[in-house]
């Protein structure tokens, strides 16, 4: 058996595990993206509030 066949068999033998695993991986990616966007938003807010001559 090749490596790909072993992986396919393992996935076929435990579909619930891999479905949950994939959901958690996607959630982790979404959280990381949200954190990146939140950091960008903070940087933009900091930039706009620290610019001289602007009113808050």
Tens of pLDDT, residue by residue over 33-54, are: 999 999 999 999 999 998 776 5
What is the predicted pLDDT for the residue at 54?
A: 55
The mean pLDDT of 17-31, rounded to a whole number, is 98
In this prediction, residues 23-30 reach a mean pLDDT of 98
Query: What's the CA gap between 55 and 20, in Å, rounded?
Result: 49
Nearby residues of 9 by Cβ (< 8 Å), 6 or more positions away: 1
What's this model's pTM, rounded to 2 decimal places?
Answer: 0.70
Distance CA 29, CA 25 (A): 6
Are the beta carbons of 49 and 56 closer than 8 angstroms? yes
Task: Measure the CA–CA gap between 55 and 38, rounded to whole angstroms.
Answer: 23
13-42: average pLDDT: 97
Distance CA 32, CA 55 (A): 33
Average pLDDT of the chain, as a whole number = 91
Domain boundaries in the chain?
A: 3-50
């Amino acid at each position: 058996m090749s490596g790909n066949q072993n992986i396919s068999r393992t996935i076929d033998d435990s579909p619930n595990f891999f479905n949950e695993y994939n959901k958690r991986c996607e959630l982790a990616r979404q959280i990381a993206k949200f954190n990146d966007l939140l950091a960008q938003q903070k940087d933009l807010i900091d930039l706009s509030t620290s610019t001289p001559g602007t009113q808050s």
